[in-house]
Structure 1
Amino acid sequence: MNSIASRLAKGSMWISAARGLVNLLGFISTIVLARLLAPSDFGVVAIGNTLLAIVGSFTALPLSQALIQHKAPTADHFHTAWTLGALKGILLGVVFAIFAQPAASFYNEPHLVNVMYALAFSMCLSGLGNPRRIMLQKSLVFWQDFMLSVSQKLFAVATAIVVAYFFRSYWALVLSIIAGQIASIAISYTALPFLPKIRFVHYRDLLSFSMWLTFSQVVNTLNWRFDQLLIGKLLGRTEVGYYTVGDTLAVMPTREATQPLTQTLFPAFSQLNGNKERLRQGYRRAQAVVTAVALPLGVGMALVAYPMVEFFMGAKWLAAVPVIQALASIYALQTLGSLAQPLGLSLGGTRMLFIRDTQLFAIRLPLIAAGLYFGGLHGVLIARMFTGTIAIGFNFFIVRSLIGIPVLAQILSNARSLTSCVLMGLAVYSAQDVGMFLQAEFGLLPRLLGLVAIGGGVYLTSMFMMWWFAGRPIGPETELLRVVTGTWARFERYRLAR
């Protein structure tokens, strides 16, 4: 357990560093492109990406998860995975290109044709990736994955900014996707040498595990993408541009806080699934850490959305502020059950995850459609907040079914984080007059930094005070102090060695 926990901690640190750099680059790219491009440019590419994601989900083969879950994959497993992935990519690319013209006519958007042709080519490339890359996660070795992820994003961001600067066109967004994929393929085969061969030997083993995940991905993609298609059709590409960029910024803090642990916990939980009690303890500790980190980041993003957008992106993007405020709040709350996914995968509960996604889709589709019809973009946001709350309950029940932790116990495990976030929100709301004074005297940036400092200070202070008065139980505060003291000790050793 200690060995796995140590490797898990190191893996999370590497993935956190990778995600931090990747999303810093992504944030810079979004801000620069928002300055150089119009919301409608983001809108037309968002429509193309959404169509690609939906079509791709029907032929999705989550082979990487199958390779992780397999006890001892052989060379033929990797060759089979590469063959299936390449065939899927080529087939999907051809089908997507065929539907480019009809889709452009449906949306009355002539630029969509070329966007879909380019995305079809990117899909062909996506099937050529190195399947051995996933073994880095299976072995809980993540530093190489760090190099691959950061290099890929760097190529994509550089391409986007250069093209946008010289051409001021939506092609910056499209070509960055292709550049990132080409870089990923080239670097992965260089770092992890692999000569693929056409094989179908183990296709039954891989597909049997992947079947329910494929069904789940179809439903999940429809669930989280169809709203962009509806907005693009009924409100236009400018509105879908606001919605897409707002959604991207809203999810960034919570996704990047949860992704490192989520990515490491699937293989880690897989190694613990023979002992329910150890798995139960590991889940509760991991979920408490994720909530303590991700919840305040998401709520904080909602609280400072207005000055952040106005300072970094300009007044033309202020229509995206309500999107960020609503979605960042619900994404933050959804971290409470965010580890149900890796837990279900590690225990082979793919059918249960599929049923969850299907039920959520049946609830979400009519509510968002009704919200769009009666309230436009604001109606969609209200519907998403409501359905997001329902999704939290679904995840709680999945965890209870899999490892027997009661729903109330799952909530109470995060009580200090929830209470501290409420206090943080009240403090930032009360400090609005101070923020306006700072803006009037010094500009937007001091107001933004001041609100961030107030919110972060209140959250950390209240969190540690409640932990102290509770008798300093083992929890996220313990993990944080351990990381801080360990980092300080290493710094001291390095200083004395010099």
Structure 2
Amino acid sequence: MSDQQAQAVVTDDLPSIGRRAGRGLRWTLTGNLVLKVGSFALSLAMVRLLAPHDFGLYAVALAANAFLIHVNDVGLIAATVQWRGDVDEMAATARTMAITFSVGWYALFWVGAPILADAAGSPDAAPLIRLLTLVIVLDGVTAVSVGVIQRRFQQDKLMKAIAVGFVCCAVVNLTLAVAGAGAYSFVIGSLVQAVVVAILVLRAARMPFRLGLDRAVARRLLVFGIPLAAGLGVESVVLYSDSVIVGHVLGTVALGFYLLAFNISSWVPGMVGAAVRYVSIPAFSRLAEGESETFTLGVQRALPMLLTFVAPVAAVMVTLSPALIHVLYGEHWVPAAEALRFLAFVMVARMFTALVFDIQTGLGNTKVTVGLNLVWLVALLPALWIGAHHGIRGAAIGHALVALTVAIPLAGWLLHRAGVHMGPVVRRLVRPVVAAVAAGATMAAVAHEVGSPFAQLVLGGGLGMVVYALVALPRDQRAPARRWVSSFLAARRGAQA
């Protein structure tokens, strides 16, 4: 079936979008879960093989790469997903543009790597920046193929390619770390993964690898893609500017602790957020082609559903972060908990705003993401600078305050301006927020009474999740949680007797 035929079918049968998006989401959630479990296991090994200084150097290179991976293709992946019409008519032009821009960005960062490394207080990171950012060239080569796969809701193919790449990356990471390669273990492993994924994605997309330039098509792509890329570029600066400021103010070792906390706070955005993004842009793009009421209803359901999932995870990070890090990474890394408590709130804001960006992209409103992220960044930089002078905890507090008081309210207002009535959304958000507060208070009380970090996680975390379920879930879904609490209290009374 051609893209034009598929588009006609989707327009005539909007419920099919939900089924196709649901299948894609199941694949990406499952794939991301497996990958995150593997990544977590790999990180447990790497923190025992490498020092905080190595993590600090890698954090600088990762910040540079995170910016480039958002802007290098000028929004052409999303433009391919959102393209109205037959994708074959734009593929050659889009691929040529993606490769050209990627190579240009790489050349710029090759020259600027020493400057960025010095600004972050880690001059030794310059070679790592130059090596890791090679990934963006491969990303430019595969941009159109990735967009086509997402457009077809064939996320299973994409996740399989990423999984194979991760296995190769893990083998290289561990081998080089044992050999004493330090931060280069991360960088070379990431490059190997990028090469493997690129080969598999190009094969899976089954798109002729043609180059060309149609000026009319290029103009359409740039009108859509440049604001999106600019918005995502500013977003990456928002998320990784703390690495540069913390490294500059506090040094590489403190940055290593901060990076660990940031990585933990990124578990949910990396697993669930990435999975949602694979299907949300194509789903909302197709819904936007139908009636506005259908689109609005989809938004009003999606945002509360997202927060209901994220809120209990944030509660665990806020209240049990010392125990979490102690059990998983060892006592040596516990100082990272001071930052993790507050980066949990940043995690919630990241998930919320990312979904809002996807909704706006589905509507074709890519320019609003630039404005939101610019306002967020302008408020964030002074907050980070002031906070970092009080340690990694201060930097995380500054990040969290701006995320909660600037980013989330502004994202909601932009949705309101786009025609989405936010009243039902706000009402549906009350229950998960109250449930998270109750769960956090429960976990804090248990942690205060229990000395063992492992027991704090098991008892406090388990009881907190039950409390969350009792408050957050509808009445007809609370029975299992009630039975668990009753048996838990009975067992406690029996033990005391």
> Same fold by TM (over 0.5)?
yes
Question: What secondary structure sits across from 1:81 in the alignment?
Answer: helix
Question: What secondary structure sits across from 1:361 in the alignment?
Answer: helix
Question: What secondary structure sits across from 1:167 in the alignment?
Answer: coil
Distance 1:113 1:265, change over 3 A: closer
Counterpart among 408, 417, 421 of residue 405 in structure 1: 421
Question: What secondary structure sits across from 1:291 in the alignment?
Answer: helix
Q: Distance in 1 between matches of 2:137 and 2:146?
A: 19
Distance 1:249 1:105, change over 3 A: closer
1:221 aligns with 2:230: no
Q: TM-score, normalised by structure 2?
A: 0.86
Counterpart among 109, 112, 134 of residue 96 in structure 1: 109
1:371 aligns with 2:387: yes
Deviates more, 1:423-432 or 1:73-82: 73-82
Counterpart among 359, 363, 370 of residue 375 in structure 2: 359
Q: Distance in 2 between matches of 1:327 and 1:13?
A: 27
Contact map agreement 2:67 2:237 (CA 8 A) in 1: yes
User: 1:347 is matched with which residue?
Assistant: 363
User: 2:322 is matched with which residue?
Assistant: 306
Contact map agreement 1:56 1:92 (CA 8 A) in 2: no
User: 2:135 is matched with which residue?
Assistant: 122
Question: Displacement of 1:392 after TM fit?
Answer: 0.8
Counterpart among 324, 327, 330 of residue 343 in structure 2: 327
Counterpart among 262, 266, 274 of residue 251 in structure 1: 266
User: 2:165 is matched with which residue?
Assistant: 152
Amino acid at match of 2:199: A
Q: What RMSD in Å do the two structures reach over aligned CA positions?
A: 2.4
1:449 aligns with 2:465: no
Question: What secondary structure sits across from 2:403 in the alignment?
Answer: helix
Contact map agreement 1:52 1:96 (CA 8 A) in 2: no
Q: Distance in 2 between matches of 1:56 and 1:16?
A: 22
Question: Displacement of 1:277 after TM fit?
Answer: 0.8
Amino acid at match of 1:383: G
Amino acid at match of 2:56: G
Contact map agreement 1:130 1:185 (CA 8 A) in 2: no
Q: Distance in 2 between matches of 1:234 and 1:315?
A: 25
Question: Displacement of 1:403 after TM fit?
Answer: 2.5
1:241 aligns with 2:241: no
TM alignment of 1:101-180, pairs within 5 A: 101-104=114-117, 109-129=122-142, 131-167=144-180, 169-180=182-193
Question: Displacement of 1:398 after TM fit?
Answer: 1.3
The superposition leaves residues 310-334 of structure 1 with CA deviations (integer Å, 9 ceiling, x where unpaired) of 1221222111111111111342366
User: 2:205 is matched with which residue?
Assistant: 192
Q: Distance in 2 between matches of 1:152 and 1:270?
A: 29
Distance 1:99 1:334, change over 3 A: closer
Counterpart among 405, 424, 440 of residue 425 in structure 1: 440
Contact map agreement 1:118 1:174 (CA 8 A) in 2: yes
Q: TM-score, normalised by structure 1?
A: 0.86
Counterpart among 44, 48, 51 of residue 35 in structure 1: 48
Q: Distance in 2 between matches of 1:278 and 1:366?
A: 41
Q: Distance in 2 between matches of 1:288 and 1:109?
A: 41
Counterpart among 76, 79, 85 of residue 66 in structure 1: 79
The superposition leaves residues 372-418 of structure 1 with CA deviations (integer Å, 9 ceiling, x where unpaired) of 24x23232122111101121101110121113313x43221122211
Question: Displacement of 1:189 after TM fit?
Answer: 2.2
Amino acid at match of 2:348: A
Q: Distance in 1 between matches of 2:399 and 2:197?
A: 33
Deviates more, 1:76-85 or 1:30-39: 76-85
Distance 1:360 1:203, change over 3 A: same
Question: What secondary structure sits across from 2:418 in the alignment?
Answer: helix
User: 1:275 is matched with which residue?
Assistant: 291
Distance 1:333 1:421, change over 3 A: farther
Distance 1:359 1:299, change over 3 A: same
Q: Distance in 1 between matches of 2:295 and 2:94?
A: 29
Q: Which runs of 5+ in 1 are unaligned?
A: 479-498
Q: Which runs of 5+ in 2 are unaligned?
A: 1-13, 479-497
Aligned length, in residue pairs: 462
Amino acid at match of 2:386: A
Question: Displacement of 1:261 after TM fit?
Answer: 2.8
Q: Distance in 1 between matches of 2:417 and 2:118?
A: 47
